[in-house]
Amino acid sequence: FPSFLLIPTVPPGYSSLFHNNLPTFTMGVTKEVISNGDGKTYPKRGDKLTMHYTGKLTNGNVFDSSVKRGQPFSFTIGVGQVIKGWDEGVIKMSLGEKATLKISSDYGYGARGAGGVIPPNADLIFEVELLKIN
């Protein structure tokens, strides 16, 4: 096979690719717990959730924060109301948990970006807290 057809392998959690001199995330979403929730109450697809969040680009610039506004965000999980990284990451959180979600661009806003504040192909970092499962 020609060498350009070989796909380099990268250990889980690492990426050999860089975009604008910033590391990119491996495809998908990873969750890092900041503080534990109750460990027993988890959302299910179709549940309405209430969350606090702060969204940042990988360079640290905050693009949105419900915390700063003092207004929690509510949505239905698992039905495509939010980006794929949230649908797949938040559903793994228990009630009261605070976590960091690292979301690759394909699980975020992809090539289109969003609202003039999230550039195309941007990896995202969200600090999220699961406040309520309705």
List residues with catalytic annotation: 53, 63-64, 83, 109, 126
Cα–Cα dist 6/2, whole Å: 7
Pair 121, 110: CB distance under 8 Å: yes
Q: Which residues contact 49 (CB under 8 A, 6 or more apart)?
A: 43, 74, 75, 76, 77, 90, 130, 132, 133, 134
Q: Can you read off the two tokens belonging to residue 16? A: 């050999």
64, 56 contact by CB (below 8 A): no
